[in-house]
Structure 1
């Protein structure tokens, strides 16, 4: 991780010389620059008299119309403590080709944080080494960072024994739980399958048998256990898994005692913490996140979601019928329908546009569309097959105000009404804004503390009140943006997701950035409820994540992924490094088998007639990514996971997919995945995983060819699949074509102090395996290991020194060392007890240039490679 951060800082320094975007030097004179400092004041915004960030934004707003080039807001180094998001609206946009650039001053590191610093710790329990500091009463933070390292809310033993499920929660014969402090803030957590579920408790009371009854908050228990949301296609979610057990209990004073864990007494206003070895709380930087967002870039309108045909504003005149509980994919499983020409539906709304969802089928007919009494079009629902939730009517560009839509049946057997999407404001993206070289940290999201975490899949949740899809908020949130760029930025240590390009954002990018240690998803693109859109202006499209490092997402919400893409068109994920994930690395697509036709759904065993519709997703490009060390906590995912049908062909090529920890499929085209051209990828260290899995007939019309793998195992139950078995390579003897894929993958080789064992610069010869989530202190919590003498690992690097990190233990032996082809003797990894991250051999003072270090197993049961230090 340190090398990635260093690379990001180098990119920051490069970006701050001259004009953002690499314009020629002569263009620099045409850039208006405003200067900002953490303690800035006044309105001068000069180097000598910098202003505050909000002031510079307002000044930039005035400069843009008359600017000859870019307008830059330059942030001096230091910490900018925000209590709420820095907001940019349509009025803060730049111009095409000339963005407003928020950038770091040359050679400096501005940090925007939503955290407050906590001081004044005193030890209150010597036996458990518990310290306490005052915080405001009511503080409900779920995150804490000490000297840049995440602390965990205190938690109990994993998979505690003795609990059984009751009608209201759980019971155990252990009576000690009844003595827990403040049980209403205790949380029960369940990891199961692809989901993590959380619920607060309502109470802990003595059981009739003398033990403890843990009553879960009733609303959360209903949503996570008794009546899990299961709307069916086009939404993901089978209603399973459920909260049917306890993986751990969290957030009680009685659980404190483990170094690196904390608890907050909300009532009294105290933060309790157990320091790790070497932490001095009198000197440590203890950061308690408070703000949910740091940047909000919002165009208009905001989120668009359809309202049901039963909405009170819908007025049906004539002989309309109502049909509920239809298993056909309707919104909320119901429609209004009529067979009489002249019957009409009217809908009065405030806004600038409206869409009406209907159904197409061979028995549907025509309708006239009126707005404010004037006919604007004639539409038809006639089609060869039944398609649910079709945008039959779409009216945009109205003057903002009160309007009435009226749709009159004129032909065919039926007219169906399934829902309405109101467009409240003009479709006006915020556009041409760049953030360059900035660091963002310290966000909080406290909603799960009160309502629980009602998981769907991959960081997409069910709203606890409306039971409609929602997502983990992000530190940097873009709503309806266009040409919004994050270049060379760092997002780290958050209680939220990292960056979210939401609400049909277009032509925007995350490039050369580092997103790490997020509670939720690293980078998210798109939505899950706009599948029906036919208007290009109302689609997520043309977005890119490239040359970026996304590591350690999902640090609180384990279902979250590194990069998530919902419904989108023309998304490119190119040459990123995504790793150390609790669930999948990259998840792209939504809706499961919604777009698969009824024949394919029937082959899968789904109900007939089927829930079948369309989506605008397609033209996706997943190219040259290195995705590794995934599935550290949950099951049924993979390094790159796709689902849902595409409207146009997409490409999946040049990716290196490696180090699955558990419950994995290395290339996982899940339900409904279609039109993928999957070729020239390399799969290794799957630890028993299939190299590709197409498990069901609704996966269709994919081409799988010219891939490389270290295992031959695969599954192909798809339909109309052009399938070619991968070239299987044993013992790491990758031929030149496969080595070229490895060399080209990821964002390039950054300088840095440490290379982990799954770094692309490390090659393994012989029979090797990987092991992650070991919990014994490994670098990035994982190793590669060999059990056969003669197995070797080689790192190729440029520099002046190198050191070898391994584990020592009683089952390890001698290791041969070779530097630049010259033997350098042997070292022993045999010790009576286990010791992690041991530097057994190192050298310095080499000629600055390319070198290779090889370590070879000579004896013992195991050789472990944990990483390399580099100079």
Structure 2
């Protein structure tokens, strides 16, 4: 679908949730319905006298306990401009089987936005066609949308030449940079490998040789260049690349002049913009996102992360020793340890529970666990192999208050303490809430403006100060949710990620929804720092993304992916369409080789002794997804990418993986991936990519069989892999079973005015290739092309009109047109100059039913398929 098009909202049928009034036998119980509007007020919350959203939420709390069915909050159409998130807590939950439902009123389109509308533009620079509007001084924003299309922060040319690295940043012989104003707002951006790095500048000065020195903010330079965070397993792999070059410079007034780019003078309160052809700023809808979040549904506790054994609250009594810099996978590479029975560690905390991380090994022994002076258990660290960061002690369910944990060594050679996780509140998820038919848009994330963007991989970052893992925040955020559902919703045009099912959210779902044009990740599930959990209540589990469209993620942060899954159990990703990504389409798992044993790590060439632990992840079902047009900006990813080991088997089947742009592996089970049953997938248009890459011995115990591919190239260097070569198909001659797989993949046909060249309704016969990120104005920035006369592309569609979009140029030739098996003659794509998205042939007035349109190359050097228009 075109990136500027928002999917149609789905009307919610009344019988889905019950109806108000009488009911017949067997009918759903009646609902309690509250009505809200953008200008709602008062407390009636009725259709004729709607209230505000917050008012309806508060009233719903009192209705839930006695409601015979669902409690429904209907949002009338219009724009709800939010300056702070709509917050839902445990007290706002529904009941199992009867959620609180926030839904669009029938036939209406409510839009929740964190953007402000900007008006009053005047032209201030005729030569560069720059317009300016006033916004409140101090307004912080990194995104702008004009008539529903993302504008770019102004930037210089891609990969500029002449920059050299210095000890504090970069230098160049070009003297122009030294004259730029407001250097602290200028950002240097580097795309390298699988990472994007960003840093603000500290200064721009003239060099002694007459050029310019670009001094990068010192803290950001340290984080992205000099001392990149690299704790190793389970938090990251290589740690590289670094900010060692300039991909482009961004956000300087002097760079303005390109249509569709803007500059915000935050201090003065001036927004500058260069309109695109056809944009009239007197009437245009100009939206400046300023709010950081739209929905926050939070249970308790919030995010849980371990604290080191050196935490000030840990008191060690007896003859304890400290060991730092251990390359064994310890938290922060250190532990406290004792060999004396009777030695103890105490930890006083405020909360409802606590976990203590230790190590298991054959020289570890037993310990008694006391809470507030009362013995609650005896635990043991004895095990056949060394495993780091094990939750040896886990105490939950305490009354909230101040407690003291005391662990006393009673046996074995050693007791080790590696860290503590405090559970500050009762485990109480926000639960049974549904959002249906709503649009969420216009969020801002401004943290990189001051501190830069310190990337790890796939939208997982390092906190610039603590160097602990963090992630791009989302417009719609769920923290510790249970049965939270997004059905038929749209998230679009954000400066953040889209939807995040975070902090061990369980049994929640994104179904039939559209997430598109996000600055960060489309949909995220799980965390990266809860790998050690053994308590099912403290795991991410049972979440689903199905029947959804996730396209154009990473529009600002190019390392972000369409769907990201961290540590989780039983995640289902089913029949989604994920595409047009700058990095991988779907990324599943974390930890690299952490869960692979030391023998496998040694075979990979990793240090011995090794950093080895466990994870609770596994049981995933990755089924029937269409993932396409990926790797548009970065390198070393793929349509579906897995990482790290699993504790239980997972299935990877029925997926159609296509159109890799660059630096890709089509089925990419990366470092540590294990227990994947990968079968009955179809791979095509990899543009030189391997259809399968198992590159290193720490990838182990996977089964690869019964797949189809248009290339035979693969890499199997894993351990204990059951491998069967794919059935290799040439010239689009897919057998019936493969064609059935294509027909079943993705969310099904979605109505819209266009079908892109990589739409599953298009079948290519003959020798074809794909080309993406051409930046020439193609529909969705890519095409399929052939150099062979007789090669054809066939669109199967239902409708009354169709048109063929292509590129015309001097190297294009004649194109044969066939509709429903009948020749409609020949048209020519030969023109003296290049023109993109040209409707070379069209027809209307067809009977409303199924049709097939075939275009066939008849001459010239190339035939390009850019897409089709549909009625």
> Among 4, 15, 19, which residue is 2:16 paired with?
19
Q: CA RMSD in A?
A: 1.2
Q: Where does residue 470 of structure 2 map in the other structure?
A: 470
Matches within 5 A, 1:415-494: 415-494=415-494
Per-residue CA deviation, residues 241-267 of structure 1 (Å, 9 max, x unaligned), is: 000000000000010000000001112
- Match of 2:15, SS? coil
Q: Quote the offset at 1:834 in angstroms.
A: 0.4
Structure 1 residue 691 and structure 2 residue 688: aligned?
no
User: Deviation of residue 72 (structure 1)?
Assistant: 0.2
In structure 1, the partner of 2:81 is 81
Map of 1:806 onto structure 2:
806
1:752 positional shift = 1.7
Q: CA deviation at 1:695?
A: 0.1
Partner SS state of residue 14, structure 2: coil
2:184 and 2:67 mapped to 1: Cα distance?
56
Task: Decide whether the 8 Å contact of 1:237 with 1:456 is kept in 2.
Answer: no
For 1:422 and 1:50, locate their aligned partners in 2 and report how far apart those are by CA, in whole Å.
43
SS at match of 2:742: helix
In the alignment, the residues of structure 1 paired with residue 806 and residue 235 of structure 2 have an alpha-carbon distance, to the nearest angstrom, of 46
Alignment match, 1:594 = 594
Deviation at 1:8, TM superposition (A): 4.2
2:291 matched residue in structure 1: 291
Partner of 1:382: 382
2:271 paired residue number: 271
Question: Does the residue aligned with 2:771 lie in a helix, a strand or coil?
Answer: strand
Measured against aligned partners, the alpha-carbon deviations of 1:584-609 in whole angstroms (never above 9, x if no partner) come to 00000000000000000000000000
**1:508 counterpart = 2:508:** yes
Corresponding residue for 2:795? 795
Tell whether 2:206 aligns with 1:202.
Answer: no
Structure 2 Cα separation of the partners of residues 338 and 723 of structure 1: 47
Superposed, 1:335-414 pairs within 5 Å as: 335-414=335-414
CA distance in 2: counterparts of 1:653 and 1:351, whole angstroms: 43
Q: Which residue of 2 aligns with 1:234?
A: 234
SS of match in other structure, 1:18: helix
Superposed CA offset, 1:699-727 (max 9, x none):
00000000000000000000000000000
Contact in 2 for aligned 1:365/1:413 (Cα 8 Å): yes
After the TM superposition, which of the residue ranges 264-273 and 517-526 deviates more from structure 2? Answer: 264-273
**C-alpha distance after superposition, 1:491-538 (max 9, x if no partner):** 000000000000000000000000000000000000000000000000
Q: Is the 8 A contact 1:649 1:675 kept in 2?
A: yes
Match of 2:752 in 1: 752
Q: Residue 678 of structure 1 corresponds to which residue in structure 2?
A: 678
Deviations 1:310-358 (A, max 9, x none): 0000000000000000000000000000000000000000000000000
TM-score (norm 1): 0.99
Query: Which residue of structure 1 aligns with residue 827 of structure 2?
Result: 827
2:648 corresponding residue in structure 1: 648
Distance in 2, Cα, partners of 1:302 & 1:733: 52
The answer as to 2:136 corresponding to 1:129 is: no
Q: Report the equivalent of 1:628.
A: 628
Structure 1 segment 718-757 matched on structure 2, within 5 A? 718-757=718-757
Length-normalised TM-score, structure 2: 0.99
Q: Which residue number in structure 1 is paired with residue 519 of structure 2?
A: 519
User: What is aligned with 2:704?
Assistant: 704
Matches within 5 A, 1:48-197: 48-197=48-197
Moved more, 585-594 or 205-214: 205-214
Contact 2:18 2:28 in 1 (8 A): no
Q: Which residue is equivalent to 2:220?
A: 220
For 1:83 and 1:364, the matched residues in 2 are separated by: 54
Separation in structure 1 between the aligned mates of residue 3 and residue 835 of structure 2, nearest angstrom: 24
Q: Distance in 1 between matches of 2:760 and 2:3?
A: 13
Show the counterpart of 1:667. Answer: 667
CA contact (8 A) 2:624 2:656 kept: yes
Partners of 2:86 and 2:416 in 1: CA distance:
44
**1:322, 1:811 → 2: CA distance?**
72
Whole-Å Cα distance in 2 between the matches of residues 437 and 393 of structure 1?
44
Report the equivalent of 1:841. Answer: 841
Q: Which residue of 2 aligns with 1:561?
A: 561
Could you tell me whether the CA contact under 8 Å between 1:56 and 1:73 is conserved in 2?
yes
- Structure 2 residue ranges without an equivalent (≥5): none
Name the counterpart of 2:614. 614
- The residue matched to 1:19 in structure 2 has which SS? helix
Partner of 1:249 in structure 2? 249
Q: Deviations over 1:55-95 (max 9, x none)?
A: 00000011001100000000000000000100000000000
Structure 1: stretches of 5+ with no match in the other structure? none
- Cα distance between partner residues in 2 of 1:356 and 1:396: 12
Instruction: Report the counterpart of residue 32 of structure 2 in structure 1.
Output: 32
Change (3 A) 1:700 1:338: same
CA distance in structure 1 between the partners assigned to 2:54 and 2:418 by the alignment: 44
> What secondary structure is seen at the aligned counterpart in 2 of 1:837?
strand
SS in 2 for 1:777: coil
Instruction: Give the SS at the match of 1:84.
Output: coil
| Cα distance in 1 for residues equivalent to 2:287 and 2:747 | 31
Contact 1:345 1:408 in 2 (8 A): yes
1:624-678, Cα deviation, whole Å (9 max, x unpaired)? 0000000000000000000100000000000000000000000000000000000
Contact in 2 for aligned 1:498/1:515 (Cα 8 Å): yes
Aligned residues of 1:5 and 1:514 also touching (Cα < 8 A): no
Task: Give SS of 1:64's match.
Answer: helix
Aligned-pair distance for 1:20? Answer: 3.6
**Could you tell me how far 1:779 is from its partner in structure 2?**
0.2
Cα pair distance change 1:514/1:588, threshold 3 Å = same
Whole-Å separation in 1 of the counterparts to 2:320 and 2:115: 56
1:207-252 deviation per Cα after TM superposition (whole angstroms, max 9, x unaligned): 1111111000000000000000000111124220000000000000
Match of residue 584 from structure 2: 584
Contact 1:624 1:653 (C-alpha < 8 Å) held by counterparts: yes
**Separation of aligned partners in 2, 1:574 and 1:559:** 23
| Contact residue 8 and residue 488 of structure 1 kept, 8 A | no
CA distance in 2, matches of 1:22, 1:275: 48
Inter-partner Cα distance in structure 2 for 1:751 and 1:102:
25
The aligned residue for residue 637 of structure 2 is: 637
The whole-number CA distance in structure 1 between the counterparts of 2:863 and 2:532 is 54
Shift in alpha-carbon separation, 1:325–1:6, aligned structure 2, 3 A: closer
> Is residue 329–residue 613 contact of structure 2 (8 Å, CA) maintained in 1?
yes
SS of structure 2 residue aligned to 1:30 = coil
SS of equivalent to 2:738: helix
Measure the CA separation in 2 of the matches of 1:831 and 1:583.
35
Distance 1:6 1:298, change over 3 A: closer
Q: 1:621 to 1:29 in 2, by over 3 A?
A: closer
Deviation at 1:18, TM superposition (A): 2.8
| 1:206 CA drift (Å) | 1.1
Q: Secondary structure at the match of 1:225?
A: helix
User: Cα distance, 1:21 vs. partner?
Assistant: 9.1
